[in-house]
Amino acid sequence: MGWIGQARTGLAQAHRWLRHPMAPYFILIGATTLLVGIGLLEVYSASTTNNLVSGKPELGTIAKQAMSVAIGIPLMVVAARLPVRFYRLLAYPLLLVSLLLLLMVLAFGQVSDGGNQNWLQFGPLTIQPSEFAKFALVLWGADLLERKEKRLASWDHLIVPLLPMAGLIVGLVMLGGDMGTSMVIVAITFSLLWVVGAPGRLFTVVSGGAGGLATLAVLMRPSRVRRFTEFLSSTSADPTGTGYQAAQGFSALSSGGWFGVGLGASREKWGQLPEAQTDFIFAIIGEELGLFGTLSVLALFIVLGYAGLRIALDATDGFVRLAAAAVTGWLMAQTLINLGAVLGVLPIAGVPLPFVSYGGSSLLPSLAAVGMLLSFARSQYRNAPLPADAADGGGPAEGEGFASSSAPAKLGSRPPSARGRAAEKLGHAP
């Protein structure tokens, strides 16, 4: 057998493995672990030199990130073993706690150098409640829409109370000045509406309203106006002013070449690139690991998104389907906003790169959300029969899925139009 035959055999085996019911489970574990590991390496590289330049403890940043990982990985493992009913029970308490913390931020929160008020200080512990509000909205929204599943053909049940609650969370976050996180919360809401088969007219109305509020939010802060106008007109951007961070990010990416200057050898981390270990860590990856490194990180996020969508597609439980899709929308939207800012295709929004950027407040909810997806994958595998050829090491037969090839049973009592839209979007025949 020549190398062409071997390649075909390998591709066939990989294809069968990908179609196995537990493939998303192992893909999630592998992609998340690799991203967290890359994050630790790059946070260490980006922060130690910068800390020395600014007179801070050399290992202070990486020590905090390592502590977050040491908490987050066991949290993900525990979350992976919790039953689905636990997450439904957690939805309302977590939402109430998140709203309370968001209110506390406005009353007692710390104000950053950029003017944002996003953080709460509890002794040595600093948290950003808006990051936990994302997880709370996922659970609450999924539980709410699943309970109202039979009444979702009418707009009032689709909109109320989901959109008012999402608007309240966005409003509280925006009062603190965090526009990037608000965009992610909007993406979570859109994901929930899309999965339940909301009509296109509703998306048009909601998108128009969100766009108007975003424009108003930009106009209310001069720094946002300058950043947005310089993004629209890169030729007039001031590389020493508002455009400085973007210019230094481009410099880091362009100097990396194919394989980078070497791990730990970045020059931009010597104080030139602001927020090198947080919002712009992807630029440091590009400088140190080159195009190969950046494409590898991008590939990990793509397969992570694929695994999350597979779990949502295979689900027969309405809550699992909605929550899995919303978590996937959250992580993918946050990744796109961060990478878009670093690459210059989106305005800089101050959003961390999931699992990679420094910050325990972002890392812990993200790992807990992945743990929940793992729990869903394990639950689906236990509760559904394994196809005969998958049990023999292959995947499902052609045209079959892990779940039934028809629309999910939960959609059976919905009106035909709503049922057809949801089934089509989930990849099932209506």
Q: pLDDT digits over 188-208, tens only?
A: 999 999 999 888 888 888 888
pTM of the predicted structure, to 2 decimals? 0.86
pLDDT at 9: 75
pLDDT at 72: 97
Cβ atoms of residues 410 and 146 within 8 Å? yes
pLDDT at 337: 95
pLDDT at 401: 37
Which residues of the chain register pLDDT less than 50? 236, 386-419, 422-423, 425-430
pLDDT at 233: 66
pLDDT at 409: 36
Three-class secondary structure of residue 325 per DSSP: helix
pLDDT at 125: 83
pLDDT at 211: 86
Q: CA separation (Å) from 237 to 232, 244, 348?
A: 9, 9, 13
pLDDT at 424: 54
pLDDT at 218: 79
CB burial string 142-166: b at 16+ within 10 A, e below: bbbbbebbeebeeeebbeeebbebb
Query: In the chain, what are the domain boundaries?
Result: 23-384+400-425
